Amino acid sequence: MDVNVTPARTQRGTWILSDLLRRPVGQIAQILDGEFVIHPTQGSRLSGIKSGPYPSLDAALSAIETHTRGQCQLSSSNEDLPLEP
């Protein structure tokens, strides 16, 4: 499964994870400088992934690619995503 990775509009240091049909599969959050955690959406293909912490965003994305056997596509556009609460 390929995953789109998009910066959240309202939460700095947070990335929204969605599948190619734009269904939510989770989030990545920067918890400290240089530490990132993955929060999978319950019941998604990311369920069961090690949450972290990971030493970089790239390391978290690599873990997602390994877990899903797909690719992460980093997007700078968030215009089509809903606002996060």
Reduce the DSSP state of residue 7 to 3 states and report it: strand
Is the previous residue joined to 55 through a cis bond, with omega within 30 degrees of 0? no
Q: What is the pLDDT of residues 17-30, one digit of tens each?
A: 999 888 999 999 99
Distance CA 58, CA 74 (A): 10
For the record, the structure tokens of 57 come out as 């965003």
Confidence at residue 85, expressed as pLDDT on a 0 to 100 scale: 40
Q: Give the model's pLDDT for residue 82.
A: 46
- Segments of the chain scoring below 50 in pLDDT: 80-85
Instruction: Give the pLDDT of residue 25.
Output: 93
How wide is the angle at C-alpha 76 spanned by C-alphas 9 and 59, nearest 5°?
95
Alpha-carbon distance 82 to 85, whole Å? 9
Full-model pTM: 0.81
